[in-house]
Structure 1
Amino acid sequence: MEPVPPVPGGPPELVVLVGEDAPPGMAAVERLARVRLVREGGLADALRGAEIVFMWDFRSAALAGAWPREGGPRWVHIASAGVDRLLFPALVEGDAVVTNSRGVFDEPIAEYVLGLVLAFAKDLHGTVRSQGERRWRHRETERITGARALVVGPGPIGRAIGRRLTAAGLRVSGAGRTARAADPDLGVVHPMERLDEALGDADYVVLAAPLTGETRGMIGAAALERMKPTARLINVGRGQLVAEDDLVAALRAGRIAGAALDVFADEPLPPSSPLWDMPNVIVSPHMAGDATGWRDELVRLFAENLDDYVHGRPLRNVVDKRLGYVGPARTGVNGMSVLDRRRQR
């Protein structure tokens, strides 16, 4: 990126919340803003006078407790697609714009989901266990061609999953807020109020929905009863979409055939969780979208958005704070360019 011209009024103050690691390749960001790296303990002090917050430590919930009682930053960006940890009342009700990292994880997560579908159909986890036991155990496996997959959550990640599974030969449908008869990526999209009916046809139920008041706990005992006993549940959305106790009970009773879980209500998953030891469960540590280079892509996306910010162009990936995910495209904040709002402060 070429050097950025000076911003009227001087570069904005940017606070970056870091955890175990700091974001790589920040040179482009540092040319656009005065950058301060802080950890959770220093966040409250750092927010005084800050114009922008970059939540690099996207798992942190510290922003709610550190948020100023009056004023506060104008823009909060998070290095993840999910924003549920950010949507505390003061932020939702205030003027600050929230953006996410939508687009970075779509294809890697879709590839991961396809890998999980193949792992179940071909019993790859069983093969690895038998190899570790030096046991020759011949068996037949399943085909994925013609199997039915229901993708819950028709956002960019869900759409990428739909395209990838369709290309592999599965028959894909979706479930979301708005019903559609012929979606280009998901075929028939069922309305969420009819999710229970759609569950009964699926061989694979893939959760890629954001965590909202409507989706929290949507896969519980009743939904699991609707699924085929041969079906598998794959969750790459949010752990709280699933009532974990109900899922454990359903797996133990054989009401569904298996589950692959990349996200959990409590992370890290406690060692005491029965999910660790279940032979029909694949547990992964919230890594479905973390393909090589993902950290650099996150910083690159933020730097591009920051460049738009300081030059008064509309931000991308603006989250509808009431819905809990990126809504329809908007110009700046409340119809006004972000730079204009800065000049009015």
Structure 2
Amino acid sequence: MQKRKIVITRELEQDHIEQIKKVIPDWELIASKDKDVWQEHALDAEIIAGWKKGLEEYCHDPQAKLKWLQTWSAGVDSLPLESLQSKNITLTSANGVHAYPISETIFALMLGLTRKIHTYVRNQQAKTWHHAHMGLEMHEKTVGIIGVGAIGKETAKLAKAFGMTVLGVRNSGKPIEYVDEMYTLDQLGLLLPKCDYVVVTLPHTKETHRLFGAEQFMQMKSTAFFINIGRGEIVVEDDLVRALQEGTIAGAGLDVFEKEPLSAESPLWELENVIITPHTSGSTENYNKRLIENILIPNLREYISGRNPSINLVDFSKGY
């Protein structure tokens, strides 16, 4: 009798492999980022963890045994969602793994812009001693967090250490700890004029596609900073560039862009009121550990007991 099979398209430390094997001792486990290794097992895999280019053909194959796909990323917008849904494949994401590193990046960007760290780094490189009109503080300001999931909640928690007023946006509009006022997405226009910082942590869906454009930047304070660590497609990039060039908003911290890598021709590179990071806000030394121990293994225990994995279960109708 053929063993049930799980394919993980990542290189894992032996300790993590052993933790997984303890849960499914009778299964065959293949863990490798090398396509030549995992592709020969993909068709027989009942569970695949980690989406890779080339896996789609196996999902479409009528002989495929895949029943559950666990992504290694929080976003699922790049996956063939319609195909997965049509085949009744359970999909779970890595949402929540990034809460610590991304919230740290958000605050690094907010503080950097507020205290002109990026300007001083440029001055240091040029050996220029200049005050750069420093004057802003972040304490007791208002931050709007557009998308209060795991990352948004951790960001709100940190904001409270700065005595900030926290406004939030989530689909349900339900209150949550650390957020003073909660809004729904259709109330975005009420929130934006109140904020000194606008932080976007939303996933990319049909509803959020190009959500931020000229109209939204005009609704913001001219002294406000815009932070985007969600997805680049949520923003009309040309409108953002114009808002930054014309002083409609004060500055931006950007980790994601409409097209990545960001083109060398993009005006964003040259703007002095912008800090750019190369889609690294979620990078952390603890990524695999959190994903395996907090998401994959608990979901795996549910799966082998006959239940549907419940942690970060993707709702196909919502796209996240």
Which TM-score applies when normalising by structure 1?
Answer: 0.82
Residue 185 of structure 1 pairs with residue 185 of structure 2: no
Counterpart-to-counterpart distance in 1, 2:268 and 2:29: 42
Aligned residue type for 1:281: V
Structure 1 outlier segments of 4+, above 4 Å:
38-45
SS of aligned partner of 2:300: helix
Residue 146 of structure 1 pairs with residue 135 of structure 2: no
Is 1:79–1:100's contact at 8 Å kept on the other side of the alignment? yes
The alpha-carbon deviation at position 91 of structure 1 amounts to 0.7
Aligned residue type for 2:225: R
The alpha-carbon deviation at position 149 of structure 1 amounts to 0.6
The alpha-carbon deviation at position 124 of structure 1 amounts to 0.8
Counterpart-to-counterpart distance in 1, 2:254 and 2:170: 20
The alpha-carbon deviation at position 244 of structure 1 amounts to 1.2
Query: 2:162 matched to which residue of 1?
Result: 168
Query: 1:23 matched to which residue of 2?
Result: 12
Query: 1:207 matched to which residue of 2?
Result: 200
Query: 1:35 matched to which residue of 2?
Result: 29
Q: Could you tell me which of 196, 212, 219 is aligned with 2:189?
A: 196
Residue 236 of structure 1 pairs with residue 215 of structure 2: no
- In structure 2, the CA distance between the partners of 1:40 and 1:258, relative to structure 1 (3 Å rule), is farther
Counterpart-to-counterpart distance in 2, 1:70 and 1:239: 35
- In structure 2, the CA distance between the partners of 1:11 and 1:319, relative to structure 1 (3 Å rule), is farther
The alpha-carbon deviation at position 199 of structure 1 amounts to 1.1
Aligned residue type for 2:137: R
Aligned residues: 310
Counterpart-to-counterpart distance in 2, 1:14 and 1:277: 47
**Counterpart mapping for 1:50-89 below 5 A:** 50-55=45-50, 60-70=52-62, 72=64, 73-89=66-82
- In structure 2, the CA distance between the partners of 1:23 and 1:311, relative to structure 1 (3 Å rule), is same
Counterpart-to-counterpart distance in 2, 1:184 and 1:10: 49
The alpha-carbon deviation at position 44 of structure 1 amounts to 6.2
Q: 1:130-150 deviations in whole A, cap 9, x for unaligned?
A: 111111112332111221111
SS of aligned partner of 2:289: helix
SS of aligned partner of 2:194: coil
Aligned residue type for 1:52: I
Is 2:42–2:55's contact at 8 Å kept on the other side of the alignment? no
SS of aligned partner of 1:183: coil
Aligned residue type for 2:43: R
Q: Give the unaligned 5+ runs of structure 2.
A: none
RMSD: 2.3
Residue 299 of structure 1 pairs with residue 295 of structure 2: no
Aligned residue type for 2:49: F
Deviates more, 1:216-225 or 1:82-91: 82-91
Residue 223 of structure 1 pairs with residue 216 of structure 2: yes
**Counterpart mapping for 1:121-136 below 5 A:** 121-136=114-129
